[in-house]
């Protein structure tokens, strides 16, 4: 980057840079984000008739495209430059004539940010996790971020090659620790060392090779136990031999694929806890809040899939005879005032499972007016520590032992997962789903002004604690970690930031850490299946949904279609400004060409202004109604505003698909986007926002289906181009439909998700055993942050609640 800046300042482009800075300064602002910088530069190029290459590929153009923030401080110009994904540099151009420039530290930039909001304080607490990266393998190539498992496997295999005898002992120690209810698995006490284990496995391979491949384990287990090998290697002779040979090959020729295959067969995860605190976790269709419904669906489906997968692994490991059963617990809070739901039941079985349960633990009653009701995700922080203490006792009683894996969900669930994992010494997985900090612009700089409403000081601190303490992190998309060349990722926003007069985060997260793993979820294939699977569809439900979408009268349905046979454009989302349904209505209203060919079908949770529960919902509802009136769309739109059971939602997608419609997800930002998967799984060609992880759900080769929700005309043109292709070549719709169905089947399914999740739990458990000294130092640092920063912030919120 030094050479690029030097080139700009040593050429005629230096004058253009000064003029651009003057143009920015004339606006009266001093802090500029990437979009503002690019727009100003584009306006300059247009005003002075610069050729197209100058904007895109001149030295100045390249520098501008790398620059994500500009801060003007006196005569100095501060540039936050991102030369590649996951990496940032701070440059300071000294004096207005831009003659000199210097590379600056992160600390210097944070001081400038504090001065910008007039909240500079020195000294200030600095949070820096960089020291704990030493000795831990990190990824070099940004393209491999999120592939932590593959990277760690390669690293471990290289270590095996360097000292086989040491690694034999490590593997022996790891496997010898495996047990279930005090029953030894894999290795018994007769085997005393790694070398002995290796020899006995060689002998066992010969013995098993003489047995019929399908012979059950029970018929030859005594011979294996005489060698010191206990149950868990497999349920048949062929399965046992394959597992033993994988161990043998791992020592002889250590390769990542062999390590992964061997570890996947190790019976090490039987009891799993999924922590999801603030959502209404229930199974009837009335449960959930708009801000948490996606998380509730995710956790329930993950629990079902985990229970099924662990049961299958127990069977294949030959542990049926020991009566080992999988146990999956969804840990959430019990809500006494549950508004007619079942959220006040302590224990509830997860439908479709044999041994997965929702365990609800109440918050302690500091103030019953607060704790007996639902509590917003922004207010929940004072109750998490005591909840974790109480939940630990309940979990141990329910499970009969410590869990093998604790998975946190969202900021509050992840903090509780940290507290439980720290106390129980259990592997911890972190799933954020959606981080609040990047969704609220400048929320860290203006945290004091926002504290009363959002309590970001507690939340951002909790995020730093849980994401660093976690043994591994799974994300649904690559962009969730490090964004794109043009945008910062959600986790990346925690790398360096200031909370003025509270602390500076100098290095908040290692984006290149091997703990990050991309493991996208699936969809419930029993509900969201392709429209052309006629045999699975319920004809009465199909008729009911058709009437709901196109003809019936209902107080919760708006609009009467003049021509119901037009191709439908469908959108399904909750009423929030981020989901931007009003933007889609405006896009449709402004395009006569779209209206000529299509009807707009939107399905939401609310329809009338009187149903709004906050100002954001009210504003969005009012805007949609006003836009419908402004563009006279009453006869070209159907707006269903009610909570629908999942089977009806699944049929909505299929009804739209059988009419060769399309699905549009017009959100301003979407971390992942479950409705996108549901629509694609049903066979609907899908247009999705390019902002956030949602863009990754659609094949890179299909970027014409990525839309910019701020560009209404451009979105309409993309949709029209697709419709023109379908009108000209009717088979085109079917080709795209089949393509999106196969994409979901091949990449986004729960079986793949849970297999990978369990493999990660086993690998990182093994890695922590090797890295325990460095990890303990990290956890002590995290403990300090928890007690000295987080707890005082949470206690302030509790003081407010006690006054209610």
pLDDT tens digits, 726-751: 999 999 999 999 999 999 998 999 99
Residue 161: is its pLDDT beyond 90? no
C-alpha to C-alpha distance for 241 and 211, rounded to whole angstroms: 10
User: What's the whole-number mean pLDDT along residues 151-170?
Assistant: 87
pLDDT at 703 over 80: no
Interatomic CA distance for residues 46 and 93, integer angstroms? 26
C-alpha to C-alpha distance for 134 and 49, rounded to whole angstroms: 51
769 pLDDT more than 80: no
Average pLDDT over residues 701-729: 89
Per-residue pLDDT at 337 exceeds 80: yes
| Sign of the four-CA dihedral 229, 230, 236, 239 | negative
List, for residues 391-404, the tens digit of each pLDDT value: 999 999 999 999 99
> Using one digit for the tens of pLDDT, what is the confidence trace for 446-464?
999 999 999 999 999 999 9
What is the rounded average pLDDT of the residues 190-216?
Answer: 94
Does the pLDDT of residue 285 top 70, yes or no?
no
Q: What is the pLDDT of residues 69-116, one digit of tens each?
A: 999 998 899 999 999 998 999 999 987 566 789 999 999 999 999 999
Q: Alpha-carbon distance 689 to 700, whole Å?
A: 13
Cα distances from 639 to residues 289, 663, 667, 720, in angstroms, run 20, 15, 17, 22
| 439 has pLDDT over 90 | no
Q: Helix %, strand %, coil % for the chain, to 5? A: 50, 15, 35
| 599: nearest Cα among 585, 615, 620 | 585
- pLDDT of residue 570 exceeding 60, the answer is yes
Mean pLDDT of the chain: 92
Output the CA–CA distances (angstroms, integers) from residue 44 to 51, 486, 630, 778, in the order listed: 11, 20, 35, 49
Q: In this model, does residue 716 exceed pLDDT 70?
A: yes
411 neighbors 342 (Cβ within 8 angstroms): no
Residue with tokens 């309409």: 716
Which domains does the chain possess? 2-104 (3.10.450.330), 148-265 (1.20.120.1230), 271-522+754-802 (3.40.50.2000), 534-748 (3.40.50.2000)
* The predicted structure's pLDDT at residue 211: 93
The yes-or-no verdict on residue 700 having pLDDT over 60 is no
Q: Tell whether the model's pLDDT for residue 704 goes beyond 90.
A: no
pLDDT per position as a tens digit, 135-144: 677 888 998 9
Q: CA-to-CA distance for 602 and 611, rounded, in angstroms?
A: 17
| Range list of β-strands (E), 3-137 | 31-33, 67-73, 76-84, 87-94, 100-104, 126-128
User: How many Å apart are CA 338 and CA 671, to the nearest integer?
Assistant: 29
For residue 293, pLDDT over 80 is answered with no
pLDDT of 164 strictly over 90: no
> How much is the pLDDT for 444?
96
Q: Is 147 helix (H, G, I), strand (E, B) or coil?
A: strand
Residue 54's alpha-carbon distances to 38, 173, 487, 576, in angstroms, are: 13, 62, 22, 40
Q: List, in sequence order, every residue forming a beta bridge with 461; answer none if it has no partner.
A: none
- Please report the pLDDT score of residue 357 as a whole number: 97
The pLDDT of residue 290 is above 80: no
Residue 492, pLDDT above cutoff 90: yes
Q: Which of 274-288, 625-639, 700-714 has the lowest mean pLDDT?
A: 274-288
Q: How many residues does the chain have?
A: 804
| CA nearest neighbour of 274 among 521, 524, 468 | 521
SS3 annotation, 209-251: CCCCCCCEHHHCHHHHHHCCECCCCCCEHHHHHHHHHHHHHHH
Residue 286 has pLDDT above 80, yes or no: no
pLDDT value for 516:
95
Q: In percent, how much of the chain has pLDDT > 70?
A: 98
Confidence check: pLDDT of 117 > 90: yes
Token output for 727: 């009108």
Q: How far is the C-alpha of 720 from the C-alpha of 718, rounded, in Å?
A: 5
Query: Residue 321: what pLDDT?
Result: 83
Element holding 747 (H helix, E strand): helix 731-747
Question: What does the alpha-carbon distance between residue 709 and residue 580 come to, in Å, rounded to a whole number?
Answer: 8
Split at pLDDT 50, 70, 90, the class of 528 is very high
The pLDDT score that the predictor gives to residue 120 is 95
Check residue 664 and give its pLDDT. 96
Tokens of 385: 């520590």
Tell me what pLDDT residue 238 has: 96
Which H or E run includes 505? strand 503-507
At 98 the pLDDT is 65
Cβ pair 241, 209 in contact under 8 A: yes
Query: What does the pLDDT read at residue 1?
Result: 87
3-state SS, residue 688: strand
Rounded mean pLDDT, 187-203: 94
Q: Looking at residue 288, what is its pLDDT?
A: 61
Helix axes 256-265, 750-770, angle to 10 degrees: 100
Confidence of residue 472 (pLDDT cuts 50, 70, 90): very high
């Amino acid at each position: 980057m030094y050479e690029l800046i030097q080139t700009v300042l040593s050429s005629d482009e230096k004058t253009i840079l000064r003029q651009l800075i003057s143009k920015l300064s004339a606006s009266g602002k001093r802090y500029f984000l990437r979009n503002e910088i690019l727009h100003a530069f584009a306006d300059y190029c247009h005003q002075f008739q610069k050729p197209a290459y100058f904007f895109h590929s001149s030295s100045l153009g390249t520098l501008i495209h790398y620059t994500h923030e500009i801060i003007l401080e006196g005569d100095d110009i501060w540039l936050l430059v991102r030369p590649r994904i996951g990496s940032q540099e701070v440059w300071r151009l000294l004096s207005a004539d831009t003659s000199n420039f210097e590379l600056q530290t992160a600390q210097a930039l944070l001081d400038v940010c504090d001065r910008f909001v007039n909240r500079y304080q020195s000294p200030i607490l600095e949070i820096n996790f960089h020291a704990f990266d030493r000795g831990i393998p990190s990824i070099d190539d940004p393209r491999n971020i999120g592939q932590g498992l593959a990277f760690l496997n390669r690293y471990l295999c290289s270590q095996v090659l360097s000292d086989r005898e040491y690694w034999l002992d490590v593997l022996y120690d790891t496997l010898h620790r495996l047990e279930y209810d005090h029953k030894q698995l894999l290795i018994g006490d007769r085997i005393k060392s790694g070398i002995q284990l290796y020899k006995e496995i060689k002998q066992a391979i010969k013995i098993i090779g003489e047995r019929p491949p399908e012979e059950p384990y029970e018929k030859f287990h005594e011979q294996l136990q005489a060698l010191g090998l206990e149950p868990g290697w497999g349920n048949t002779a062929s399965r046992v031999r394959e597992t033993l040979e994988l161990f043998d090959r791992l020592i002889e020729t250590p390769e990542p694929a062999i390590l992964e295959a061997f570890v996947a067969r190790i019976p090490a995860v039987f009891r799993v806890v999924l922590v999801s605190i603030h959502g209404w976790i229930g199974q009837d269709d009335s449960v959930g809040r708009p801000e948490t419904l996606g998380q509730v669906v995710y956790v329930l489906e993950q629990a079902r899939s985990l229970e099924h997968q662990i049961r299958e692994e127990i069977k294949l490991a030959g542990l049926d005879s020991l009566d080992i059963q999988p146990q999956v617990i969804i840990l959430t809070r019990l809500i006494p005032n549950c508004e007619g739901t079942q959220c006040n039941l302590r224990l509830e079985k997860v439908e479709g499972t044999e041994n997965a349960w929702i365990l609800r633990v109440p918050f302690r009653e500091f103030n019953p007016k607060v704790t007996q009701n639902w509590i917003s995700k922004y207010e929940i922080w004072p109750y998490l520590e005591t909840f974790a203490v109480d939940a630990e006792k309940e979990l141990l009683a329910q499970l009969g032992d410590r869990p093998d894996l604790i998975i946190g969900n969202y900021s509050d669930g992840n903090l509780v997962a940290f507290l439980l994992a720290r106390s129980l010494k259990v592997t911890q997985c972190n799933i954020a789903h959606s981080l609040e900090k990047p969704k609220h612009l400048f929320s860290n700089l203006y945290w004091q002004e926002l504290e009363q409403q959002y309590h970001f000081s507690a939340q951002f601190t909790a995020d730093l604690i849980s994401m660093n303490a976690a043994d591994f992190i799974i994300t649904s998309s690559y962009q969730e970690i490090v964004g794109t060349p043009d945008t910062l990722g959600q986790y990346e926003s925690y790398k360096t930031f200031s909370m003025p007069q509270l602390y500076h985060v100098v290095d908040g997260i290692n984006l290149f850490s091997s703990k990050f793993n991309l493991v996208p979820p699936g969809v419930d294939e029993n509900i969201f299946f392709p429209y052309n699977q006629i045999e699975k569809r319920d004809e009465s439900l199909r008729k009911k949904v058709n009437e709901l979408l196109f003809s019936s009268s209902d107080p919760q349905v708006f609009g009467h279609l003049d021509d119901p046979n037009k191709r439908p454009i469908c959108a399904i989302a909750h009423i929030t400004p981020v989901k931007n349904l009003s933007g889609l209505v405006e896009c449709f209203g402004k395009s006569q060409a779209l209206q000529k060919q299509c009807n707009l079908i939107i399905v939401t949770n609310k329809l009338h202004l009187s149903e709004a529960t906050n100002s954001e919902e009210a504003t969005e509802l009012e805007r949609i109604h006003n836009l419908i009136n402004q563009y006279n769309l009453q006869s070209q739109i159907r707006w269903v505003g009610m909570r629908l059971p999942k089977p009806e939602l699944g049929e909505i997608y299929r009804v739209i698909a059988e009419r060769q419609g399309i699905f549009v997800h017009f959100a301003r930002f979407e971390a992942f986007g479950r409705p996108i998967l549901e629509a694609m799984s049903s066979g609907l060609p899908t247009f999705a926002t390019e902002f956030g992880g949602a863009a990754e759900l659609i094949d890179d080769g299909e970027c014409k289906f990525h839309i910019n929700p701020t560009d209404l005309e451009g979105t309409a043109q993309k949709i029209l181009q697709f419709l023109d292709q379908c009108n000209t070549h009717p088979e085109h719709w079917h080709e795209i439909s089949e393509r999106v169905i196969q994409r979901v089947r091949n990449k986004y399914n729960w079986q793949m998700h849970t297999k990978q999740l369990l493999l990660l739990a086993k690998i990182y458990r093994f890695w922590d055993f090797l890295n325990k000294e460095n990890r303990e130092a990290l956890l002590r640092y995290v403990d300090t942050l928890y007690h000295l920063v987080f707890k005082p912030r949470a206690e302030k919120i509790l003081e407010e609640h006690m006054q209610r």
